[in-house]
Homo-oligomer: A and B are copies of this chain.
Amino acid sequence: MTDTIPTEGKQLFSTVTDDNRLELSMRTVPVGEPGDTEVLIRVDAAPINPSDLGVMLTVADSDSFEAGDDSASAPIPEKLQRAVAARKGVSIPIGNEGAGLVVKAGSSPEAQALLGKTVALAGGGMYATYRIAKANACMVVPEGTTAEEGASSFVNPLTALSMIGTMRLDGYKALIHTAAASNLGQMLVKLCLAEGVDLVNIVRSQEQVDLLKSLGAKYICDMSQPDFAKDLTAAIAETQAFLAFDATGGGRLANQILTAMEAAALKTQKANGPYGSTQYKQVYLYGGLNTAPTELTRGFGMSWGIGGYLLTYFLQRVGQEETAKLRDRVGAELKTTFASAYTSRITLEEAIDPATIAAYNKRATGEKYLITPQA
């Protein structure tokens, strides 16, 4: 099997250049030799998740990319340059997760055990033809599962599980999710139904309402409707969902959610004088689909919080043992609860083509791109 492994591979990087451009580049890199406890994976499939787009494109306008030499780049708007200043000059290997075949393994038993197996992996640098990984970071996909089916085994499934986990650890009864018709959102609908957890889904079109209804979702609030604020307040009052996970980040959606939470809280409790309800209300921003500043009008009392949310921090919070249990569950339900669907498959070369960048960054709900580095 090692006969067919090249000495050099290709890999994608994202860089904020010294002249304030965002550059996506494909570079030739050595394939390398796995150490004793490592394996070499031939990457067959790696999804483009919204969290990847944030890293890949930062705040660059995806319609303004120009092709370069094995690269594409776009200007970073001046007023946003400071936000990405910390990344200047640092090339970040991109692609959070993916799956592929273990084609070479170190001498340790745990590495050897993976040889010839299809494994899924998270940890960055997956938009590459080959990748070396620690054997204990790999998840063998269940018998009969392809690399494509296993490519999204981490980010979305574990994020969905982490949202419910956070809800339980922090003592909330139900939760709110925005961009709820996304792949992640659909998983969360299925997961919450299975767990008996009330979920308030925020979507932005009738088409998305219909999609989530077809999955069995009970609470769906459509931002495009004039009664959105009223519907959201009613759903929160019924479910007591005072915890929200917002994928959009920018604009006023978090503010609308906190305002609706406060209105819902005041249906069952008196205001604490001028300070609003004592009900604690939390919105976590786990994405930045809307790159505009987050705006808070603060008309929702004094008992509230908003903050960044990263799956990694949740996994650190619950520890290794619980993380392993969550991974096992994902593996077992990879073709049901945690199944992902892709609408487009592209090569590494296509991933840095300006027209393709504009297309995959549209982030249209229901659209999902998969990079197939071997194609």
Contact = CB atoms under 8 A, between A and B. Distances in A.
Interface of A: 14, 54-55, 58, 80, 82-87, 90, 92, 124, 249-250, 255, 259, 262-263, 266, 271-276, 278, 285, 288, 293-299, 301-310, 312-313
Contacts of A55: 273-274
Given A266-B86, A273-B55, A309 B313 contact: no
28 contacts: A55-B274, A58-B274, A80-B297, A83-B298, A84-B299, A86-B266, A86-B271, A87-B274, A90-B271, A124-B273, A249-B298, A275-B312, A285-B298, A293-B296, A293-B297, A293-B298, A294-B298, A295-B296, A296-B296, A301-B308, A302-B308, A303-B310, A303-B313, A304-B308, A305-B306, A305-B307, A306-B306, A306-B307
B295 A302 contact: no
B304 A307 contact: yes
A139 B84 CA distance: 52
Q: Chain B CB within 10 Å — which of A85, A87, A274, A275 has the most?
A: A274
Nearest to A272: B312
B293 A92 contact: no
Which label, helix, strand, loop or mixed, suits the secondary structure of the A interface?
mixed
Nearest to A94: B274
A315 to B, nearest CB: 13
A154 B115 CA distance: 69
A309 B303 CA distance: 7
Given A55-B274, A273-B124, A310 B302 contact: yes
Contacts of A278: 313
